[in-house]
A and B are shown apart, each in its own frame.
Chain A
Amino acid sequence: DVKVTQSSRYLVKRTGEKVFLECVQDMDHENMFWYRQDPGLGLRLIYFSYDVKMKEKGDIPEGYSVSREKKERFSLILESASTNQTSMYLCASSFPDGPNGYRSNQPQHFGDGTRLSIL
């Protein structure tokens, strides 16, 4: 079974702090994603990565950065946390369909999420 593990289920931080959310997958997936989930808004893509050291901005990258130094690990960084970043954060991974990892109809496998509160 595919396992996507997010380092924390719940996290409480203060405004202005630098926050790291970690995600590890064990299926050798090329693609990895960070989403935030807010009630009534569905999932919004923050960043995704299709290979080590490669990243692409999603819909809402402002205030966030990412790091992918190893294939199995994809980190989300809140550079200076703000209260409007209080949310559920979901990490996902998938295989690409072909050599172009951008376009994939392979299922995404999700972690259980990190509920982040910024006070």
Chain B
Amino acid sequence: AQSVAQPEDQVNVAEGNPLTVKCTYSVSGNPYLFWYVQYPNRGLQFLLKYITGDNLVKGSYGFEAEFNKSQTSFHLKKPSALVSDSALYFCAVRDYSNYQLIWGAGTKLIIKP
């Protein structure tokens, strides 16, 4: 069965430090991977996606994610965190045989000044 795991409910990072939000997945075919962000009282916003090609994907707001096929991971990263990055982050996956996205439970990112 297809699944997505975000192993950390919450990640705390000091402003200016690098951040990583983890995501692992399980699909039967080639994965299509996505990261979305949700700010308080708002809907989700698309950050980036991996479909094929370069394993390092760059997205909005200075975020990037690294696709690792052997570890079935797609971790979200940023070199220097901002307080405004504090939000809820969702990883999602789809394989070509399926029409819908499978969503992780979300990771709350807190950036402290």
Task: Show the binding face of A for B, using Cβ within 8 Å.
Answer: 4, 40-45, 48, 56, 58-59, 90, 92, 102-103, 105, 107-113
B: interface residue count bin? 20 to 34
A103-B105 contact, Cβ under 8 Å, with A42-B90, A108-B46, A110-B44: no
CB distance A110 to B45 under 8 Å? yes
Task: List 18 extra interface pairs beyond A48-B100, A59-B100, A107-B46, CB under 8 A.
Answer: A4-B43, A40-B9, A42-B103, A42-B105, A42-B106, A44-B103, A45-B101, A90-B44, A92-B43, A92-B44, A103-B94, A105-B51, A110-B43, A110-B44, A110-B45, A112-B41, A113-B42, A113-B43
Q: Is the CB of B106 within 8 A of A105?
A: no
B83-102 contact mask (Cβ, 8 Å, vs A): 1 or 0? 00000001010101001110
Q: Which of A40, A56, A108, A113 contacts B105 (CB 8 A)?
A: A40
Which residue of the partner chain A has the closest CB to B6? A42
Contact partners of B104 in chain A: CB under 8 A: 42
**Please, could you name 27 A-B residue pairs with CB atoms under 8 Å apart, sorted by A?**
A40-B9, A40-B106, A41-B105, A42-B90, A42-B105, A42-B106, A43-B90, A43-B92, A43-B101, A43-B103, A45-B100, A45-B101, A59-B100, A90-B43, A90-B44, A102-B99, A105-B51, A105-B94, A107-B49, A108-B44, A108-B101, A109-B46, A110-B43, A111-B43, A112-B41, A113-B41, A113-B43
Please pick, from B32, B43, B90, the residue contacting A105 in the complex, using a CB distance under 8 A: B32
With A110-B43, A112-B43, A113-B43 known to touch, is A56 a contact of B99 (CB < 8 Å)?
yes
Shortest Cβ distance from A89 into chain B, in angstroms?
Answer: 10
Q: Mark B13-24, 1 if CB is under 8 A from A, else 0.
A: 000000000000
CA distance A41 to B45 in the complex (A): 18
